[in-house]
Amino acid sequence: MRHYRILGTWLLVGLGFMLSSCTTHTVQVEAPDKPITINLNVKIDHEIQVKVEKDLNEVFTENSDLF
């Protein structure tokens, strides 16, 4: 009998915590007043890489005995 009383007490305490936790927290989602701006400062150096790759291909074809 004593074990059931202790178990019942813990169940009531746990139920109380669960019920109180459901009512205390609120989440609000609102749209911003100002528009979102994204500044992208990107340096594009793809052209340089292509030129170097073409030059390397020419060197390898001219001197095929390097490797």
The reported pLDDT for the residue numbered 52 is 75
pTM of the predicted structure, to 2 decimals: 0.30
Give the model confidence (pLDDT) of 22-62 as tens digits: 655 677 888 889 988 888 887 766 666 667 777 778 887 77
Q: What is the pLDDT of residue 48?
A: 64
Residue 21 confidence (pLDDT): 62
> What is d(CA 27, CA 25) in angstroms, rounded to the nearest whole number?
7
Stretch 1-23: mean pLDDT: 78
Determine if residue 11 is left, alpha or beta; phi over 0 gives left, psi from -120 to 50 gives alpha, anything else beta: alpha
